[in-house]
Structure 1
Amino acid sequence: MTAVFRIICVLLLSVSPALAQADSRRIALVMGMSDYQTLPALDNTKNDAVAMAATLERIGFDVTLSVDAGVAEVERLLEDFSFRSEVADLALIYFAGHGIEVQGENFLIPVDASVTSNLDVQRQSMSLKRLLAAVDRARTMRIVILDSCRNNPLGDAIALTNDTVESADAEGTRGGGGGMAAANPDRGTLVAFAARDGQVALDGNGNNSPYALALMEKMAEPGLEISLMFRQVRDSVLRQTGNLQEPHTYGSLTGVPFYMAGATEGQVDVASVEPIDGWASLRSDQEDQLLALADQGDTRSMLGLAYIRLNPNEGRFDPKAAVAFLQTASDAGSPEAQFELAKLYERGTGVAVDHPRALTLYRAAAEQDFADAINDLGFLHYQGGLGLPADPQKALTFFERAADLRHPQAQFNFAALIDDGLIANKGPDDSAYYLYQALRSGSADVLDLLSDRPTMFTGETRRALQTMLKKNDFYQGSIDGDFGPGTQRGIRRAYGIEE
Structure 2
Amino acid sequence: MKQVRRIIALVAGLLALGGLAPAAAAQSCGTAPLKGERVALLIGNSAYNDFEWPSLKNAVNDIDYVCEAFERAGMAPRIVRNADKAALDKALDDFAAKARGAKSVLIYYAGHGFEYGGRNWLVPMDAPPATRRADVEKRYLSIEALVKHVVPKGAFTLLFVDACRTTEPVVRVEDVDVAAGVAGSAPLGLLDIGQGAVFYSTAKGRPALDFAPVGSPVSPFAAAVVHQLAIPGLEISDYFKIVSRDVYKATFGMQLGPQQPFHYGSWFDDYYLVAPVEVPQARAAAAALPVTAAAAPPAGATRGPAKPAADPLADISLDRLAIEDEPLLVADVLAHHPAAQLVALADGGHPLAQHLAGYMFSLGVGVKKDLPRARAYLEQSAAQGFPAGQQELAYLLLENDPSPDDVKRAYDLYLASSNAGFSKAKTHLAYRLAVGTFGPADFVRSQALYAEAAAKGHPAAIFALTYFPDTRAANMARLRTLADGGNPEGNHWLCEAHFADKTRKDAIEDCGVGARAGFAGSRAILADAYAKGDGVPVDAKEAAFWAKLARDLPELRKDQRDLIAGVGE
Q: TM-score range by the shorter chain?
A: 0.3 to 0.5
TM-score by length of 2: 0.39
